[in-house]
Each structure stands twice: as structure tokens, then as C-alpha cells.
A and B are shown apart, each in its own frame.
Chain A
Amino acid sequence: MATEAAPMDEKAKRMRDLLSSFYTPDPSVSTSVSSISTSFDNINGPSFDADQYMDLMIKKSNLDVLLQRHVQMAAEIKNLDTDLQMLVYENYNKFISATDTIKRMKSNIFGMEGNMDQLLHKIMSVQSRSDGVNTSLFEKREHIEKLHRTRNLLRKVQFIYDLPARLQKCIKSEAYGDAVRFYTGAMPILKVYGDTSFKDCRRASEEAIEIIIKNLQTKLFSDSESIQARAEAAVLLKQLDVPVDSLKDKLLEKLEQSLDGLQINPEEASKLAEHNVSSKDEESNNQGPAKIHKDAVRGFSEAMRAYREIFPDSEERLFKLARALTTMHFENMALCIKKRISAADFLGIFRIIWEDVVLMDEVLPEASLSDLSAEAAQVALKQFVARTFSHLRQDISDTLLKFDINQKEVVDGEVLKVVLEASGKAILQGTADIFQEFRQLLDENTGIFVKMNDLLIGWIQKGFQDFFRSLESHFLVLSGKTSSPNEAEGLLEGKPSEKIHAGLILVLAQLSVVIEQKVIPRIAEEITASFSGGNSQTFIPGELCRVFHAASEKLLQHYIDTRTQKISNVLRKRFKTPNWVKHKEPREVHMYVDMLLQQLEEVGKEVKQILPQGTFRKHKRSDSNGSNTTTSSRSTTLHSDKMARSNSQRARSQLFETHLAKLFKQKVEIFTKVEFTQESVVTTTVKLCLKSLQEYVRLQTFNRSGFQQIQLDIQFLKAPLKETVEDEAAIDFLLDEVIVAASERCLDVTPLEPPILDKLIQAKLAKSKEHNNNTASS
């Protein structure tokens, strides 16, 4: 059979499947093989269709295969027949043995009935006996139970009567724990019967408990007791329903008050820092304030530790306290920073605070004090960096303005130079100092600082960037070029631009150049040397250089503008006041020429102090900006000679010649780019003034004498102007233009005769010489 054959061959397996399908009529229970092969051509499947199978067979196979298949099938059928026969026989066998067994059982059961009846009878008699015993013992048992209850009650009464004595004993032996346990045990009874039977007892025990409470409280408040004992006392008090919270509040309030003592006073802070350093170095015996402070903080943290254990539920409050102390520290630090402290002092204070924080953090790690203080420290450090820069800026502007006040009294001398040097030094020294200080900060290795190095570098770089940007705008504000945007600089707001000394503007311009060329490269070097790294490069020297370059040009232009504006005023007065149509014959060179020259001389003096001397160059054509050229000029010396030689008869044709010549003139550029040289600035100023002069002339109408006066003045100006200016051609040209303009606006052009012109100029020169001598001698 299939069960015996362990290694099942194909045939046995098929056999078993067939048999099992035979015994289990439900096809769904049949084994997997049969269920899978349900198709009609599977001979073993339930849906096998013999006709179809035959058709398929005949169609598919040839005769040999069919025959083979026939033989195979015949053998299989035979096999199946024998197997079936065997099965039938075995089943029959089993059926016979089952009939035998049933027969044997029938005979065994037959004698059991009588035994059962006997058993029932015996059980009945046992039950009736036990009932009898029960009824006889019932009365006694009840009595015993009653007695037992009474005894318990009596014991309780006894306990309550003994309570005061017991409590007293406990007080004596300081076993407060037991006492409290007894008392709380007796409490329910006392509550119920306290007013009637146990009045005395209750009073006595309450008194005792009051003593206990008092003792416990003193124990709680006394600092000498161990923390354990105090904590126990607190727990006992709580069990006695004493309002512990109020006690806790009282204690914490005391702690809070002690906070004030822990403050780092801004005034003493620097002292404290010093002492801190010195006490470390010298181990000095006299306790410095630093030491005192340290002890105080230690005490504070101890107290906190104690309270934490005593009142586990007061953590929040303690956290709050610790945080308050930390924030207070940092607030004080912010005050210190406002007061301008050195990096060393800053670090000193910082260290103290950090130590405090570490102490407290040990006690209350959950308060996340270190996080809090790290944040606060970042803020403080950032503030410190910002402050340092603003102080530097303040210093620089102070240096600039300090000298400016003296400036007005001393026009001559080297004041501008001194200012320039002083402020230049202030910037260089200031930045060097800042680097020194920041290096200290970087070297510091107290906990937080190490983490913040990157940030710090970022701030420093950004600080420099912002510092220079604000310095630039500050320069512009100082120069009156722009009005200050914020109210903080309201001092300068009211100052109209005319009141700002022109020299200061020049100093600022040159200072910008110094910053661009010297200071920024140096700082860039320093930063790459010791402050590089960090995440982003926020200090961009190239950009700053550009900014200051632009600023210096702007300021220089502004200087020239303010200067020419002043001269323009002189000219305006000169041309507005007289009635040119009714001008009298010129007797001397007009005095406005002196004023003009004096102004120019002032410019020259200022410029000499501040700006470098340029290499002497004749007029340049290459670096001018083409849009501002005027297309006229002429070869000059020749022309002026002609002018001088001309007489009244030839004047008209002369002027016509001038016009004609203008058309063919060599191109002279009037408005060239201003450079940072003495000559360039003076030249530009002179050019602008002459141009203004020309414009004023063009607005008037002259009679003959008026024209002659202009001619005389211009002739006189020629020599001194050429001395001061590098671009003679342009000056000649501009002076000619004035004459031409005057002649155009003249009703009767008759130039002065050259001898008279000469004579008048000589007279003027002699007079001014005499004047100079007089002032020199006096």
C-alpha cells in the first residue's frame, strides 16, 4: 500500500491518488494532482471524457503509439482490479473484528446495575450524619465569633488611649516617621468619635502632633540637617496635610532673593574679571570679589540641588530661577558691552558666567542651561563684535571732527594734513586693535567659544564689510553730500552743506583713497591669515575697494563743487551789482580779482596739504570723457599777443578773426577727469570758475567801458592763473572765451590800448606788492 512505500515511485503515487479520490467523493478535497489536472484529457481527473479522449488520441497518434498505449492501459486496468480486490477483502476483515468487540461489551455491561444502586444508598446515609453534626455545633461557633469581635474593638480603643503616650515617646526618640504613621492610622476613628468618647485622647494626640509638625518644620528649614533628613521631613509634613506648598514657596522666595546678590555688577565686572585672572595667577589670600562670587554661586547651586531633592515637583520653578540667573548675567554683560570694554575684560566676564552656568548645569541638567547660555552667548558675542566696530567708527569720526573745530580758527598751517594723518592712523590703529581683540576671542577655548569659532569668523568678516560700508556712507554724510538717513546722526542733520568746511571734504576724499589702497588690502590679508574658514566669505575686499574708489571720486568732485560754488558767489556779486551799460572807464583792476585769486590760493594750500603732487603733464587728450568736450580753442600764445597788439581800428576785424579761428581751432578739452593730484584739482577748479565767469558775462550787456573793464581784469588774471595751473592751453582758451563773450554782449567793442592795459596792470601789481609788504611788516 501507499503508506508503506516511503520512496514513492510514480505508479504508487498515482495509485494512492486514485484510491483517495475513490474514498472521498467530494472532488474539492481531492489532492493537488487531481485538482490541477481537471482537463478532459487527464484520465485521472473527474471530468474525464472518454470519447473526447479517444478522438484526440486517434487524431494525434499513429498506430504504433496507439497499440503501445493500449497495452499500457490494459496492464493498468489489471493492476487496478487486483488492488480493488485486496481492498474489499481487508474491509471485510475489519468488519468481522468489529462485530466481535460489540458482542464482548454487551456481556460486560450486564452486571453493573446492582453495584450502582448500592453506591447511591451509602451516599445518602453519609449526608444525613453530617447534617446532624452541623446542627449540634452551630450555637458554640456563633458565640466564639462574637467574642472575637469584641476583642478587636477593645484593642483599638486601647491603641487610641495609648496614642498620646506613644507619640510622646516617639518625639523623645525622634522617630517622627512612626509617630506620623500611628497618628494617620488613628485619624479615622478620632474623626468619628473624637468629639464624644475620645475627647481628651484626641486633644492630647493633636498637641503631640503639633509639636511634631513644628519639629519637622524646623528640621526642614535648618540648613545644617542632611538633605535626606530634610526631604523626609518634607514628606512627613505632606502626610500630615500641612500645606507644604506654602513652605516651598517661602523657601524658593528666599532663594530668589539671593539671586540679587549673585548679579555681576556692570561697574564691578571688569574689576571682577581682573581679580579672577589675578587670583588664578597668584593664589592671593585676600579673597577677591571673584572668589566671593564663585562661592556664592556654588552655594546657590547647592541650595538648588537640595530643593530639588526635597521638592521633586518644584523643578519647573528651579529651572526658571536658574534661567533667570543666566539671562541676568547676560543682560549685565550686554550693559558691559555698551560701556565699551576690551576683549580681555569681555572674556573675563564671559568666563565667570560660563563657570556659573556649568555649576548650575550640573545640578539641573534638564534645565538646558547650556543651550540657553549658548544662545545668549552668541547674541552677546555678536553684540560685542558689532559694538567694537561702531566704536571704531565713532573714534574715526571723532578724530575727524575734533580737528575740524580748530580748523576754523587756523586757516593756514598744516591742520588738514594733521587731520588726515591722525584719522588715517586712527583707522589703521583701530583696525589693528580690533584684530588683536578678535584674535583673543578666537584663542579663547572656553566651552561655548570653540563651537562658535566659525560663527565668530563670519561675524567678524561681515562686521568689517558692514563697517566699511557704513564708514563710506558716514563720510558722505560728514561731507554734506548726502543727508543722514537716520536720526542718530541728527547732530549733522541741521548743518547745511555750506557750513561744512571744504577742507574736511578733501580730507575725507583722500582718506577714502587711503582706505581703498592701504587699509582694505591689509585687512584682507589679516582676514585670510587668521580669520579665514567659516562657511561663507562675507568680506569682499574687491567690492569695498570699488565702493571707496567711487566715494573718493565723489568726495573730490564734491570738494571742487563746494569750492567753485564759493567762487561763483563772488563772481555773481561782481556781475549783478553794477549797471554795466553805464559803466565808467576802467581805472584799475577790480578787486574781485583779488578775492578770486585768494580763494584759489586757499584751494592750493588745502590741496598741497592733502594730495600728492602729480607728475607734471601738459594737457592730456586720452583720458577725458568725450561727451563733455567743447569743440573750440586755438593756438593761444599767438592769439593773445595779437589781442594785445590790436588797436581800436582793427578791433572789429580782430573779433571776426577770433570767431573764424574758433572754427578751425585745435580741440581742447575743458572738462577732463579729475585726478588725485594737487595740479589736477586746482586746474579743474580754475576751469570751472572761468566757465562760470564766462556764463555771467554772457548774461550782461556792456558798454565800451564795461567791456574794457572785463578785458583788463582778464588780462590781469592771465599771469597768476597760468602759474597755478598745469593746463595752460585750456586756461588761455577759457580766458579768451570770456573776452569773446564780453565782446558779443558789448554795444561798442573798443578794446583798451595795450600800453594803457599794461600800465593799469603794473599799477595793480605794485599795489598788491605794497599791500603784501604792509601786511608782512605789520
Chain B
Amino acid sequence: MQGGSSGIGYGLKYQARCISDVKADTDYTSFLTGTLSLKEENEVHLLRLTSGGSELICEGLFSHPNEIWDLSSCPFDQRIFSTVFSTGESFGAAIWQIPELYGQLNSPQLERVASLDAHVGKINCVLWWPSGRCDKLISMDEQNIFLWSLDSSNKSAEVISKDSAGMLHSLSGGAWDPHDVNAVAATGESSVQFWDLRTMKKVNSIERAHVRGVDYNPKREHILITAEDESGIHVWDLRKAKTPVQELPGHTHWTWAVKCNPEYDGLILTCYVLAWKAERMI
């Protein structure tokens, strides 16, 4: 990983494709990241920013059976997170719990809370209920959206409802609206689609090709940010979804991911290949 010239760095042994902030950890600024290596043993790293904010230290290192394509932390329990992984031929998704005694073990194993194994196709991402203690989860493969109910004490997960987006759309990722818990945005081949979880039906869409990443603005309702293949970041107002409100050029090639800063309105983070970059939104 490379940051800016004065950024704080942390080296992983292998390549990684995902990082997630641990929202439930209120005492520290923590991140979870998982490596993406086809042949070596993959790891999940729990990182913590030291209190001075000058260093990232590794709080935990856990082996993970497969290469990790997506990882997100549970918003209410800092020890629980979800991964989407691939064995090379097939994909799977699971909810994991960091073992309680990990400090004493050499290479502690993660406890598998539940596996989300209703998918047939390639799973792309798992989304947690945006905030607060709610055991709802969404998982997406290329054609289907599943809404799960997680029972962490019984270590099981059940499908509440599902819907198919159809063959053509091939969903690739998404975001859960923090302002309206019934709305989920999903990026597809040629559009960003919006689903209503109550009816599990598509309600709206932004016709935009090659969207790679999407995030809601946590401070302002109806504002959505997308990252696209052709070096574009666009800000949208969902009430006027025809044309973008703002275009932020700057990336020379694909922009993979985009995140809004949860604290400061207008600060967004975009990811270009694997280099992280914070950009000031004007």
C-alpha cells in the first residue's frame, strides 16, 4: 500500500483488495483488511491507529482459508465481520468472529459464525445494516440480492427474501442508504439500481455504464457518489437522477471505490487501482 507522501503506511505480505473501518470500535480507529493471494495462505489483519495517530499497528493477524474479495465490519460488534472469498473456482461468503483469546494464541483461527451459502453465482459483496444493532445483512451475487437475518448466538443465518435482477445486469457492488434503511443501491453493468427492501423490487436507476463503486453521503440525504471505469467520479442527486450534479475529474484511469467521510461533509475518498487517495470535494 502506498499512501501520500506524508501518509502512514502499513505493509501487508500480499496484495489486498479491500479494507473496512471497524465502526463498532468506539475507542480506537481500527481497520480490517484481508489479503488476496491465490496460492499463499491468506490473512485478515486488524489494524489500529495509535493514539498519537502517527502509526498503524497490527492488533491481530488471523488466517483466512481463501482469498478475500470483499470484507466489511459489523457496525455493532467489533469482533464480527463478513468476507466474500473465492477458492479460485467458486465463491462464498461468511460471517466471522474474532476469537476472544486471540492475544494468547500464536495463529488464532477465526470462528465462523455463519456462512451465507444460498448463492449460486459469483458473490460480490456483503452489506451490513447501515447503523445500529440490527441483524440484517444483504449479500449480492451477479444476479441476485439476498436479505439475511443473522442469529449470532445460534450461529446461523436465514434468508428473509431474495430477488433476481436478471441475467443482463450482473451486479457488482452496492451501498445501503443510511437515511432510508429500506433502500439499497446496487451497481450493475450499465446502471446503478435502487431496490426497495420491503417489496424487494427495483424502484429507480441511474443509467450509467461501468460504475465500480458507490456510496451514500451520510450527512446529506439523496446525495450519492459513484466511481467509474473511465476515470470519473460523479456526484448525483437522487431526486434528479438524469444528469450528475458534479463531475470530479482527476483520475487517469479506473476508479475502483469511493467512500464518503462519515464526519466531514464533502470529504470523499477514492481508490485508484490500489493506491488510496483522499480528495477534497469542491
Contact = CB atoms under 8 A, between A and B. Distances in A.
B38 to A, nearest CB: 6
Given A483-B243, A671-B252, A692-B254, A747 B38 contact: yes
A142 B3 CA distance: 138
A671 B252 CA distance: 7
A692 B229 contact: yes
A701 B86 contact: yes
A691 B253 contact: yes
Interface string A533-573: 00000000000000000000000000001001100100010
A691 B15 CA distance: 18
Contacts of A670: 252
A581 B38 contact: no
Given A483-B243, A581-B89, A746 B38 contact: yes
Interface residues of A, number: 22
B88 interface: yes
Nearest to A565: B230
B88 A747 contact: yes
B252 A701 contact: no
Contacts of B219: none
A366 interface: no
Contact of B210 (A568, A582, A671): A568
Contacts of B210: 565, 568, 572
A565 B253 contact: no
Nearest to B90: A581
Contact of A568 (B15, B39, B230): B230
B38 A744 contact: yes
Contacts, number: 42
Interface residues of B, number: 19
Contact of B38 (A564, A671, A745): A745
Interface string B110-147: 00000000000000000000000000000000000000
B170 interface: yes
A483 B242 CA distance: 10
A79 to B, nearest CB: 111
B38 A701 contact: yes
A279 to B, nearest CB: 57
B281 interface: no
A561 B230 contact: yes
B253 A688 contact: yes
B204 to A, nearest CB: 18
Contacts of A253: none
Interface string A731-755: 0000000000000111100000000
Greatest chain A CB density within 10 A among B38, B242, B252 is at B252
A576 B38 contact: no
A362 interface: no
Contacts of B242: 483
A628 interface: yes
Contact of B253 (A483, A572, A671): A671
A505 B231 CA distance: 18
B248 interface: no
A695 B274 CA distance: 11
B12 interface: no
B192 to A, nearest CB: 16
A670 B273 CA distance: 14
A220 to B, nearest CB: 70
A695 B254 contact: yes
B234 to A, nearest CB: 13
A572 B210 CA distance: 10
Contacts of A565: 209-210, 229-230
Contacts of A744: 15, 38
Interface in B28-66: 38-39
Contacts of B170: 576
Contacts of A582: 89
Interface string B209-252: 11000000000000000000111000000000011000000001
Nearest to B256: A695
A701 B88 contact: yes
Given A483-B243, A628-B252, A564 B88 contact: no
Nearest to A746: B38
B230 A564 contact: yes
A687 B15 CA distance: 24
Interface in B80-124: 86, 88-89
A262 to B, nearest CB: 51
B124 to A, nearest CB: 11
Contacts of A581: 88-89
Contacts of B253: 671, 688, 691-692, 695
Contacts of B209: 565
B181 to A, nearest CB: 31
A289 B259 CA distance: 75
Interface string A691-726: 110010000010000000000000000000000000
A62 B243 CA distance: 117
B189 to A, nearest CB: 8
A747 B89 CA distance: 10
Interface string A665-677: 0000011000000
Contacts of A483: 242-243
A744 B37 CA distance: 8
Interface string B198-211: 00000000010110
A113 to B, nearest CB: 128
B7 to A, nearest CB: 14
A729 to B, nearest CB: 18
Nearest to B243: A483
A199 B252 CA distance: 113
A738 to B, nearest CB: 14
A670 B231 CA distance: 15
Nearest to A670: B252
Contacts of B243: 483
B248 to A, nearest CB: 14
A710 to B, nearest CB: 15
Contacts of B231: 561
Interface of B: 15, 38-39, 86, 88-89, 170, 207, 209-210, 229-231, 242-243, 252-254, 273
Given A483-B243, A701-B89, 11 more contacts: A565-B209, A565-B230, A576-B170, A582-B89, A671-B252, A691-B253, A695-B253, A701-B88, A744-B15, A746-B38, A747-B38
Q: Please give me the 7 A-B residue pairs with the lowest Cβ-Cβ distance, nearest first.
A: A671-B252, A628-B252, A581-B89, A701-B88, A483-B243, A691-B253, A561-B230
16 contacts: A561-B230, A561-B231, A565-B210, A565-B229, A565-B230, A568-B210, A568-B230, A572-B210, A576-B170, A581-B89, A671-B252, A692-B254, A695-B253, A695-B254, A701-B38, A744-B38
